[in-house]
Structure 1
Amino acid sequence: MKKDEVPQDGDNMHHGTFKQLFYAVDQSGEYTPVTSVGWEPENVALGQAWEEVELRVQETRDKVLAGELSPIAYYMERTLLDLPLLARKVGKFQWQVKRHMQPDVFRKMKRNLIERYAGIFAISADVLQKGELLPFQRPL
């Protein structure tokens, strides 16, 4: 792509604070770095993806508040982890992590395991153990 063809369709996602770096060919045929504030189709797709993530986080939050799931399920969604990755990070089998998402099992978990989960979720063990559900924020 030529330097003057790099998309500059407006930054719908980050309100002008985020720019992407591309390499494009300049007038002398050399590759040169060029910043872009976005490409409309990409911005739309990213916006839709984030809306889906926010919906999943909210649905999981509602299930935790209804007593159907433990806070571990919420924080897994909130930190954009899936079951295999969370299990690997906490050093447990997937079936064990699924059990920890059951409110009755969660309430009986030992403090050191709560602390391990809290470290992965970058929250305090007290917040996790008390079931406080911190708000979700899109990463920049």
Structure 2
Amino acid sequence: MKKDEVPQDGDNLHHGTFKQLFYAVDNSGDYTTASSVGWEPENVALDQAWEEVEKRVAETRAKVEAGTVSPIAYYMERTLLDLPLLASKAGKWGWQVKRHMQPGVFKNLSTTMIARYADIFGISPETLQKGELLPFQRPQ
């Protein structure tokens, strides 16, 4: 695409703070870089994806508040991790992490294991141990 054809449809996701880098052809036919604040179809798709993430986080939060899963499940969703990745980061098998998501098992986790999870989630061990559920925010 030509440099003057790089999409500039407005970035409804990052409010103009994020720009993408594209390679485009300039007037002399050479490749050059051009920045873009967004392309409407891409922005719509990203917005829909973030809405789905927000829905999943809210559903998991409700399960924690209902006492059916532990805060580990909430923070896993909040930090956009899946079970295999969280297990890998925690140095545990997937079945062990899944077991830690049971409220009764979670209450008996060691302070070392709570600290390990808290570090992965970027929160304090006290926040995790108390079951405080910090709000989810889209990245800026």
Offset at 1:130? 0.3
Q: Give unpaired runs (5+ residues) of structure 2.
A: none
- Measured against aligned partners, the alpha-carbon deviations of 1:23-81 in whole angstroms (never above 9, x if no partner) come to 10101111111111110000000000000000000000000000000000000000000
Aligned match of 1:42: 42
> Please, which moves more after superposition, 88-97 or 25-34?
25-34
C-alpha displacement of 1:139: 1.3
What letter matches 1:94 in structure 2?
G
1:117 maps to 117
**Matched residue count:** 140
Determine the C-alpha separation between the residues in 2 that align with 1:58 and 1:43: 22
TM-score (norm 2): 0.98
Shift of 1:137: 0.9
Q: CA deviation at 1:19?
A: 1.1
Give the structure 2 partner of residue 63 of structure 1: 63
Aligned-pair identity (%): 77
Q: Which residue number corresponds to residue 31 of structure 2?
A: 31
Using structure 1 for the length normalisation, give the TM-score: 0.98
Q: Where in structure 1 are there 5+ consecutive unaligned residues?
A: none
- Post-superposition shift, 1:82? 0.1
Displaced runs of 4 or more, over 2 A: none
Match of 1:136 in 2: 136
